[in-house]
Amino acid sequence: MSSIIPQKFSGLRFKLLSALGAAFLVLFVGQFSAARVIFLNSYVKLSQARAIHNADRVKNALNQKLSQININAGDWAEWDDTYKFVLDGNAAYRKSNLVDESFIDLDLNAIAIANSSGTIIFGSAFDLQNQKRQEIPPQLTALISQKPSSLLRHSQKDKSLKGLIVVDNQPMLLSARAILTSEEKEPVRGTLFMGRFLDRSGIEEISKVTQVSFQLYLESDSNQPDDVKSVRSQLSLNEPVVRTLRDNTIVSYILIADIFGRPAAIARSQIDPNTYSQIKNTYIYYFWTTLVIGVMVCGLSWILLEKLILSRLGQLAYNVGHIGSTGNLSRRVILPGDDELSSLANILNSTLEQLQQSQLALYESQERYAVAVAGANDGLWDWNLKFDQIYFSPRWKAILGYQESEIEDCLEAWFERVSPYDIEVLKWALQSHLAGQTPHFEYEYQMRHKDGTYRWVSCRGLAVRDERGKPHRIAGSLGDITERKLAEADLAKRTLELERSNRELEQFAYIASHDLQEPLRKIQSFSDRLQSKCASQLHDRDRDYLDRIHKSAKRMQTLIQDLLSFSRITTKAAPFVMVDLKTIILDVIDDLEIRIEQVRGCVEIGELFTIEADPLQMRQLFQNLLGNALKFHQPNKPPIVKIVGEIKGNNRCQISVTDNGIGFEQKYSDRIFQAFQRLHGRQQYEGTGIGLAICAKIVSRHNGAISCQSSPGQGATFLITLPLHQ
């Protein structure tokens, strides 16, 4: 075989062998380096990130445990029974509340109650493991009783103090809460303390919750491990620090402050060191395995290449060269076998026979191209860069509203119709593709239609390049996507509105179902029982307490109803229809007739309009505004409310609602439209502080705006701007 293969072809074997060896070397080195990054470096980075995360989880778990203790302390401290116990020390409170079950249920080691002068009227500790009462630690007693004591200073704005303290060389989570009435009224009668030791069981409990094993060392502990001592100077409060020890153990440390903000303890957690050794062994095993397998694969590949490809390729090259040198087209290439090389020989043998068929196929292809250009829904364009000539198909011109003869086939006819905001980006996209920076040219922009409007189009193209990669031609298509763009904009708008509505609805549903309704049902249930069974046995003061409970429950029920109204503005909204605002306002005045007569008020209606809106929400909007105008009137001065509208622009109107009430300072004009924001106390004016928030949300849903102008004693004017047609 070697006698018939040209000598120059023998260099192919050397090239293939060199390429095979180079490919193996590059692949092996690349895999070796990648494996090191993946197995070792990535493990270290991942473990360090995990260590920081573990430290944060420990810190968050301690804060969560402390917050739970603080919540429980708040429930006891802001309770009329506790308030009364501080005053008279009644035995019934002690017997029913200060019992072992309270320590167990609340998971506490210590409960203490001190009066406002710092005298401890009750103090007890509890061993949760053995479930036995103990004396309250003297160090805790001294901390409470010292004068002045930072744990006893409270105010209405800062009525709780919580954090970590050290008692008998043990860390304790402590909450100190000011003792107030159930309605959180002053004066402060004392302080209630609840504490939980971070002993072994406490730390194990937190470790179980966080799935992180950690140790807690006191700042004053002289038996700290060496690594803790060495890293202490680098720690700052609540900022974790990660270190890799000599045995490749990755450890995280976090400095925890006490209740007074001073460094108190160090939490230490570590990643299992055995994992690093396993990763390193796996890396070494992978290195040698890859090397051996690679050498074997290269050897086997070379044998197969020589037998199946190189020898047969030499024979094929010799036969083709002989036909080319002799010009004898009747000679055929004979190459036995049933593979790609033998198929190539058959293709060469049929080349001459297919020349005529190829010419016919080319003609048919050109004809199909002409038909496709004429019938395609997208317009076609073809730009010859060498001669700077461009072709636009009839459909390309029809998309812009022109006949074929109305636009010249020139580049200016294209660019001058592109939106001024898009022309520079379009040119940049074209140049980027022609420079080979992008595989395809594709850009969506606006073009001026024959009627003067702008239409959204999608332009795509692909450059044809020579052997040096230089483009000499680019062709593509143009499609009208105006309807899609409008649909996308409408969909995006509706999606944003739906997402916002869903978030508000989920938040409300959670509050109403868990945090509001359940306590309200309990309050109403227990108060009804007291009233039905014990009303005759209660003193006047106790019946007054019961009456306050009923009033509070009623206020809570009103709040829930207002919240439901607020959330349903978008979730339960009705379609927009044409609404006569004057008819709506007259219906609202009719509903408020009794209230208007009680305050001797007057409502004056000017010119109003018919707009496209939700009638129920328009009714709710003006009922809230008129209700506020009647409620916030000046004493001994009948309220007068004026409602007037005027046209603003082609499709907008403005309605002003003006009253002569008490008014407010202009700096609160934005705050009043926020939920639960009140400028006056509940005892002065009833309400939940959500009415104007409902108004703002209704106006927003109608694509409008609402604002207010006011000054104290001069009344207020609410300006509502709404579109006539949506």
Look at residue 563 in the predicted model and tell me its pLDDT: 61
Asked whether residue 562 carries a pLDDT value surpassing 80, the answer given is no
Q: Are 52 and 310 in contact (CB under 8 A)?
A: no
Residue % of the chain over a pLDDT of 70? 82
CA 59, 65, 67, 70 torsion: positive or negative? negative
Look at residue 566 in the predicted model and tell me its pLDDT: 59
Q: Are 461 and 474 in contact (CB under 8 A)?
A: yes
How far is residue 236's CA from residue 239's CA, in Å, rounded to a whole number? 6
DSSP per residue, 337-368 = SSSHHHHHHHHHHTHHHHHHHHHHHHHHHHHH
How far is residue 108's CA from residue 174's CA, in Å, rounded to a whole number? 10
- Pick from 452, 457, 444, 465: nearest CA to 392: 457
How far is residue 172's CA from residue 165's CA, in Å, rounded to a whole number? 5
pTM over 0.75: no
| Residue 534 burial (CB count, 10 A) | 12
- Pick from 171, 136, 137: nearest CA to 66: 171
Q: Are 258 and 238 in contact (CB under 8 A)?
A: no
Look at residue 512 in the predicted model and tell me its pLDDT: 58
Name the average pLDDT for the chain. Answer: 81
Give mean pLDDT, residues 46-58: 83
- Longest CA pairwise span in the chain (Å): 129
Q: Are 43 and 275 in contact (CB under 8 A)?
A: yes
Q: What are phi and psi of 710, to 5 degrees?
A: -160, 165
Three-state secondary-structure class, residue 157 = coil
Look at residue 389 in the predicted model and tell me its pLDDT: 92
Return the residue matching tokens 């390309």: 396
How far is residue 376's CA from residue 392's CA, in Å, rounded to a whole number? 13
As given in the structure block, the two tokens for residue 120 are 């401890």
Higher pLDDT, 619 or 1: 619
The DSSP bridge partners found for residue 442 are 460
Look at residue 45 in the predicted model and tell me its pLDDT: 78
DSSP letter at 550 equals: H
- Beta-carbon contacts of 465 under 8 Å, excluding residues fewer than 6 positions away, are 436, 471, 472
| CA dist list (Å): 700 to 570, 617, 622 | 10, 11, 15
Q: Looking at this protein, which amino acid is placed at residue 69?
A: I
Give mean pLDDT, residues 133-156: 80
How far is residue 552's CA from residue 559's CA, in Å, rounded to a whole number? 11
Domain ranges of the chain: 1-272, 364-480, 487-571, 577-723
Query: Can you list the positions of beta strands (E) in 533-593?
Result: 577-580
Look at residue 422 in the predicted model and tell me its pLDDT: 93
As given in the structure block, the two tokens for residue 306 are 């020589």
pLDDT band with cut points at 50, 70 and 90 for residue 352: very low
Three-state secondary-structure class, residue 564 = helix
Q: Tell me which CATH code domain 1-272 carries.
A: 3.30.450.220
- In the CATH scheme, what architecture does the domain 577-723 have? 2-Layer Sandwich (3.30)
How far is residue 426's CA from residue 158's CA, in Å, rounded to a whole number? 61
Three-state secondary-structure class, residue 474 = strand
pLDDT band with cut points at 50, 70 and 90 for residue 4: very low
Look at residue 685 in the predicted model and tell me its pLDDT: 66
Asked whether residue 449 carries a pLDDT value surpassing 90, the answer given is yes
Note the pLDDT tens digit of each residue in 292-350. Answer: 887 888 888 778 777 777 777 777 777 677 666 776 666 667 767 777 767 777 777 77
As given in the structure block, the two tokens for residue 349 are 């043998």
Of 239-253, 363-377, 609-623, the range with the lowest mean pLDDT is 363-377
How far is residue 374's CA from residue 372's CA, in Å, rounded to a whole number? 5
How far is residue 526's CA from residue 530's CA, in Å, rounded to a whole number? 6
Q: Would the CATH topology of 364-480 be identical to that of 577-723? A: no
How far is residue 639's CA from residue 631's CA, in Å, rounded to a whole number? 9
Look at residue 357 in the predicted model and tell me its pLDDT: 61
Return the residue matching tokens 């000046």: 634
CATH class of the 364-480 domain in this structure: alpha beta
Look at residue 419 in the predicted model and tell me its pLDDT: 93
Which helix (H) or strand (E) covers residue 641, if one does? Answer: strand 640-647
Q: Which range has the top average pLDDT, 248-257, 419-428, 518-527, 673-682?
A: 419-428
How far is residue 168's CA from residue 146's CA, in Å, rounded to a whole number? 17
Three-state secondary-structure class, residue 332 = coil
Alpha helices in 268-350 (DSSP H): 274-305, 311-326, 340-349
Asked whether residue 481 carries a pLDDT value surpassing 80, the answer given is yes
Which helix (H) or strand (E) covers residue 83, if one does? Answer: helix 80-88
- Beta-carbon contacts of 625 under 8 Å, excluding residues fewer than 6 positions away, are 657, 695, 718
For the chain, helix (H) and strand (E) counts, in that order, are: 22, 22
Note the pLDDT tens digit of each residue in 599-651. Answer: 889 999 999 999 999 888 888 899 889 988 888 888 888 899 999 999 988 88
